[in-house]
Amino acid sequence: MVGGGQGAFIGEVHRLAARLDNKLELVCGAFSRDAENSKLTGQQLGLDPSRVYKDFDAMMKAEAALSEDQRMDFVSIVTPNHVHYPVAKAALENGFHVLSDKPATKDLEEVQALRALAKQTGLKYALTHTYLGYPLVRSARELIQSGALGSIRKVFVEYIQGWLATDVQNKQAEWRTDPAKSGKSGCMGDIGTHAHNLAEYVTGKRMTHVAADLNIFAPGRLLDDDGSVLFRMEDGIKGVLSASQICVGCENGLTLRVYGETGGLSWAQENPNRMMRTYLDRPAEILTSAQSYLSEDVQSMYRTPAGHPEGYLEAFANIYLEFSRAISSGGSLSASMDSAVRGMSFIEALIESQKHNSAWTEVLQ
């Protein structure tokens, strides 16, 4: 692991998720730019002190020098955005697979370079788009791909939070609102990319054009903290994406609604074990988790019986489980390198649209 030292939020979430199925073991790390912080983190995690490194470059070189049965298998990157690219590049160059927090890099140029390097090395690369790990999200994708909703017409996706409604002073807010660390976008780069990814994954279609209205509401803030986007997808699908971090009282409101010719689906991350399915000619259905009417693949993602709520950590664990399977047996990845490139292309298109008075802008593939 790179990042996730003392004072970091997401590192421990990654570690809990990775441990959940007893298939992965954290063996080494460079947890902080502060060597003492990294050392303390390693001690608390019970790691061999010789495998707690001062920086990620030292880790890559030392691990690559170990025998194949001793060295790490892949690197988990849990740092602010500006560190994603150099760590992923170093990992791929030294022969290690990469599982990275999103967005993949600070800009499109960096992620395109990563894609070329991953292709050259043949190594696995994926993003932790956590919400793709929810089983009912996978079920929604299956239903749409089976034609159960008819041809898709309309998509509404939003990710609404309120934690940055004021000038928050903490470690999490500091880097997310700093262009040098976050990149060109704040809110859209942080949570808008999740909404974009969810819409593309469930429909199986790519966004092709966007018209964006990005806003800064908190005085003195340098990056967007709110935005609304009209979008077009392949096959004539139209949609609306909203992302905001200034909606007072909202916690983690990621929701998705998809409508086709003959039916619709509605799912919300804050109540992830229920999904509504609507029809033209009969009452709506509520699909719930871990039921026998779900596909075997979806049922395999649950760890508890029906009626026992599963949530964020379990979804995160499914991302780790999927990645470990991809390494060991060549399985597919829900958020692969292509997803990483499209996520950065989405951000670039939003910025370009905003510069031209919300004009329709192509999302480069």
Per-residue pLDDT tens digits for 314-350 = 999 999 999 999 999 988 999 999 999 999 999 999 9
Based on the fold, state whether residues 114 and 156 are members of the same structural domain. Answer: no
Q: What angle do CA 333, 328, 98 make, to 5 degrees?
A: 55
Q: Is pLDDT at 212 greater than 90 in this prediction?
A: yes
Q: What is the pTM of this model?
A: 0.96
Q: Which of 91, 123, 155 is the last residue of a domain?
A: 123
Instruction: Kindly state whether residues 13 and 143 are assigned to the same domain.
Output: no
Residue 66: CATH number of its domain = 3.40.50.720
Residues 114 and 150 both lie in one domain: no
pLDDT digits (tens, 9 = 90+) for 285-310: 999 999 999 999 999 999 999 999 99
- The pLDDT of residue 167: 93
Q: Is residue 323 part of a domain?
A: no
Q: What mean pLDDT value characterizes the chain? A: 96
The Cα 173–Cα 186 span in angstroms is 10
- Quick one: 141 and 53 in the same domain? no
The pLDDT of residue 195: 98
Q: Is the predicted pLDDT of residue 8 greater than 90, yes or no?
A: no
Q: Give the mean pLDDT of 185-210.
A: 98
Shared domain check, 220 and 163: yes
In a domain, 309, yes or no: no
Contacts with 170 (C-beta within 8 Å, 6 or more apart), sequence order:
none
Report the pLDDT averaged over residues 111-125. 97
Closest CA to 100 of 265, 301, 344: 344
Region of residue 22 (left: phi > 0; alpha: psi -120 to 50; beta: else): left
Predicted pLDDT at 80: 93
* Residue 183 lies inside a defined structural domain of this protein: yes
Q: Is residue 361 part of a domain?
A: no
Predicted pLDDT at 169: 87
In whole angstroms, what is the distance from residue 258 CA to residue 264 CA? 5
Q: How far is CA 196 from CA 103, 184, 287, 345, in A?
A: 11, 17, 24, 11
Residues 6 and 105 in one domain: yes
- The CATH number covering residue 269 comes to 3.30.360.10
pLDDT-above-70 percentage for the chain: 100
- Check whether residue 201 and residue 347 sit in a common domain: yes
Range of the domain at 159: 136-304+337-355
Note the pLDDT of residue 114.
97
User: What confidence tens digit (pLDDT) does each residue in 27-67 have?
Assistant: 999 999 999 999 999 999 999 999 999 999 999 999 999 99
